[in-house]
């Protein structure tokens, strides 16, 4: 098993763990963390494509690598926006959960400020 | 001469690895956070210092050697400060 | 050489194990700490994939700045020590989610194992770009970012600006124009102040260095800018400086400088070199460095603003 394949399998496992956490955690920040795990797993799979696509005298394919760098920064920007939305949702509604049942119990609270989902 | 340098490198890096090992064992085995912090700082300071010392003769240029020493100095500064901060937070939590 | 495969396997297990910890940890704080460690180990995996540029970005942005963002957010939520909000999911949901995750991970693993051989690649085209409009750049990644895929890189800066606008606009209406809430506590610990005072100048220097060598060696605008941003955040956490008011003119100019300069030069390429985002070969390298300088500025300003969050308090207007 070569290092790229190993890293690719690790990436697949990361996507699995991230998906599990994303579905199950009611806490929004934990969901965000899990989502970032999925993201880095996808980047790793991208990375092994870069490693295998070595040609033209380079030890790697620079195009996927450059896109991963761009992707990491964009993922951070999206996370920051999500954090701002989560904090606003908590400030407006007083709730720190995305559990639908917790929201269903008190239908009187205004769920505004929580757009974007 | 180069054999002597090699021997020096091996000795220093080996000693550094030993300190890292000891620090990690302490991190896992010690009973509370303060003692674990104590064990960890040995790995950071002494272990990394010895590894950098062992790598110095193998550096390509004076600039590369300077960068190695700089990395060690930065880890020293940040390690010491964060250990302080964690210890302070622990003490606040115990009160 | 025979040690390296063991190292790879160990690294892979550590990374996957830390990911599991991030998902399974009891409280948010432990989870975030696990995630930061995970980001740093992932950087090592990238090194093993011959991707030092990605490793630098992952360590700085993926691990470091994201960790600061989440810890700050957790502190503001006041949820760091508390138990999880909401009920624990039912067993049936756990099983379904686990099965789905297993299925997706298995399918992805199958794809990874059965990738076509030889792999399709854009490396020759990128190498040609590095020889052509990106001439003189020894680092093929930088050549791809600025020359071959310049449009992506420019739009990515626009995404950063849009994210900043988005973060600002979720603040209360009355606070518009004010400064975001401070990052640190009112009375920062002495060690934090000392660390920021020592680290920030050196780190800023290293950030500029990483940007400068990025033309020929691993490094570049993203990594250097992220390091500068981290140093500014360290200074803000030690309360040596405060987050700026979001209606400050210099701030907004610095934010748009990167994509604006990129666009202007891109349009100039239309007239000078016959194509949008084409650089005249004779000036390619100085032009690229010129663009990158402003991109570093934009990144170094945008990342701390994203962490600092929406404006807080009342506008003084």
Question: Looking at per-residue confidence, does A96 or B64 come out higher?
Answer: B64
The pLDDT, as a whole number, for residue A15 is 92
Helices A28-52 and C28-48, packing angle to 10 deg: 10
Q: How far apart are CA C170 and CA A88, in angstroms?
A: 7
Q: How far apart are CA C282 and CA C288, in angstroms?
A: 12
Q: Which two tokens stand for residue C85?
A: 């909000």
The pLDDT, as a whole number, for residue A29 is 87
Contact C288, C155 (CB under 8 A): no
Query: Dihedral of CA B41/B46/B50/B52: which sign?
Result: positive
**Interface contact flag, A10 C16, Cβ < 8 Å:** yes
Domain extents for chain A?
3-105
List of domains in chain C: 1-120 (1.20.120.1200), 122-317 (no CATH)
Does the pLDDT of residue A114 top 60, yes or no? no
The pLDDT, as a whole number, for residue C85 is 54
Contact A84, C170 (CB under 8 A): yes
The pLDDT, as a whole number, for residue A113 is 43
DSSP C245-261: PTT-HHHHHHHHHHHHH
Write the CB contacts of C51 (distance below 8 Å, at least 6 apart in sequence): A47, A50, A51, A60, A65, A68
Query: Which 239-268 residues of chain C touch chain A by CB within 8 A?
Result: none
Q: Three-state SS for A25?
A: coil
- Determine if the pTM surpasses 0.80: yes
Top residue of B73, B84, B89, B93 to mutate, by most chain C CBs within 10 Å, is: B84
Give the least confident one: A102-111, B48-57, C96-105: A102-111
pLDDT band at A115 (very low <50, low <70, confident <90, very high): very low
Model pLDDT for residues B73-91, shown as the tens digit of each residue: 988 888 888 888 888 888 8
pLDDT band at A1 (very low <50, low <70, confident <90, very high): low
Report the residue from A33, A48, A52 with minimal CB separation from C22: A33
Chain C: closest CA distance from residue B70 (Å): 10
| ipTM score | 0.86
Q: How far apart are CA B48 and CA B71, in angstroms?
A: 9
Does the pLDDT of residue A117 top 60, yes or no? no
CATH number assigned to the domain covering A3-105: 1.10.287.3510
Cis peptide before C207 (omega within 30 of 0): no
Contact C243, C179 (CB under 8 A): yes
pLDDT lower than 70: segments of chain C: 1-2, 79-88, 117-138, 147-148, 273-274, 277, 281, 313-317
Top residue of C108, C120, C218, C292 to mutate, by most chain A CBs within 10 Å, is: C108
pLDDT band at A7 (very low <50, low <70, confident <90, very high): confident
Does the pLDDT of residue A105 top 70, yes or no? no
Residues of C in contact with A69 (CB under 8 A): 53-54, 57, 141, 145, 222
What are the CA-CA distances from residue C173 to residues A109, B90, C162, C167, C309 (Å)?
A: 20, 39, 18, 13, 14
Report the residue from C31, C112, C303 with minimal CB separation from A5: C112
Model pLDDT for residues B3-44, shown as the tens digit of each residue: 888 888 889 999 999 988 888 888 888 888 888 888 888 777
The pLDDT, as a whole number, for residue A38 is 93
Residues of C in contact with B82 (CB under 8 A): 191, 195
């Amino acid at each position: 098993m070569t290092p790229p394949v190993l890293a690719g399998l690790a990436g697949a496992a990361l996507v699995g763990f991230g998906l599990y956490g994303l579905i199950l955690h009611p806490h929004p920040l934990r969901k965000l963390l899990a989502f970032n795990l999925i993201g880095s797993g996808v980047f790793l799979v991208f990375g092994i494509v870069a490693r295998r696509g070595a040609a033209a005298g380079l030890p790697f394919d620079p195009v996927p690598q450059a896109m991963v760098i761009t992707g990491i920064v964009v993922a951070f920007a999206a996370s920051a926006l999500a954090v701002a939305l989560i904090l606003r949702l908590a400030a407006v509604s007083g709730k720190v959960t995305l559990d639908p049942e917790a929201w269903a119990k008190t239908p009187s609270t205004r769920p505004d400020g929580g757009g974007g989902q | 001469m180069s054999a002597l340098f090699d021997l020096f490198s091996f000795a220093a890096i080996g000693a550094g690895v030993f300190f890292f090992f000891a620090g990690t064992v302490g991190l896992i085995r010690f009973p509370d956070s303060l003692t674990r912090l104590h064990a960890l700082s040995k790995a950071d300071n002494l272990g990394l210092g010895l590894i950098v010392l062992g790598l110095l003769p193998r550096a390509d240029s004076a600039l590369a050697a300077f960068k190695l020493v700089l990395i060690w100095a930065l880890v020293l500064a940040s390690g010491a400060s964060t250990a302080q901060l964690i210890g302070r937070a622990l003490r606040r939590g115990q009160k | 050489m025979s040690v390296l495969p063991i190292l790879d396997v160990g690294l892979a297990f550590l990374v996957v194990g830390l990911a599991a910890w991030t998902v399974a940890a009891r409280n948010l704080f432990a989870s975030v700490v696990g995630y930061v460690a995970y980001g740093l180990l992932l950087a090592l995996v990238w090194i093993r994939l011959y991707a030092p540029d990605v490793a630098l970005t992952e360590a700085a942005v993926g691990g470091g700045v994201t960790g600061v963002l989440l810890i700050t957010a957790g502190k503001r939520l006041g949820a760091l020590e508390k138990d999880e909000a909401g009920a624990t999911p039912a067993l049936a949901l756990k099983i379904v989610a686990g099965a789905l995750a297993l299925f997706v991970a298995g399918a992805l693993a199958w794809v990874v194992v059965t990738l076509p051989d030889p792999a399709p690649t854009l490396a020759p085209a990128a190498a040609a770009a590095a020889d052509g409009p990106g001439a003189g750049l020894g680092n093929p990644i930088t050549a791809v970012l600025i020359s071959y895929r310049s449009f992506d890189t420019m739009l990515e800066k626009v995404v950063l600006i849009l994210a900043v606008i988005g973060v600002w606009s979720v603040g209360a209406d009355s606070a518009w124009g004010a400064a975001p809430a401070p990052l640190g506590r009112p009375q920062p610990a002495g060690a934090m102040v000392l660390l920021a005072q020592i680290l920030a100048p050196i780190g800023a220097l290293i950030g500029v260095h990483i940007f400068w060598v990025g033309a020929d060696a691993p490094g570049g605008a993203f990594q250097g800018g992220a390091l500068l941003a981290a140093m500014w955040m360290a200074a803000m956490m030690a309360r040596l400086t405060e987050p700026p008011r979001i209606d400050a003119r210099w701030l907004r100019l610095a934010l748009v400088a990167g994509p604006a300069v990129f666009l202007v030069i891109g349009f100039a390429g239309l007239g000078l070199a016959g194509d949008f985002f084409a650089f005249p070969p004779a000036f390619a390298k100085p032009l690229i460095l010129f663009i990158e300088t402003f991109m570093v500025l934009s990144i170094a300003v945008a990342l701390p603003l994203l962490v600092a969050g929406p404006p807080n308090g009342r506008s003084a207007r």
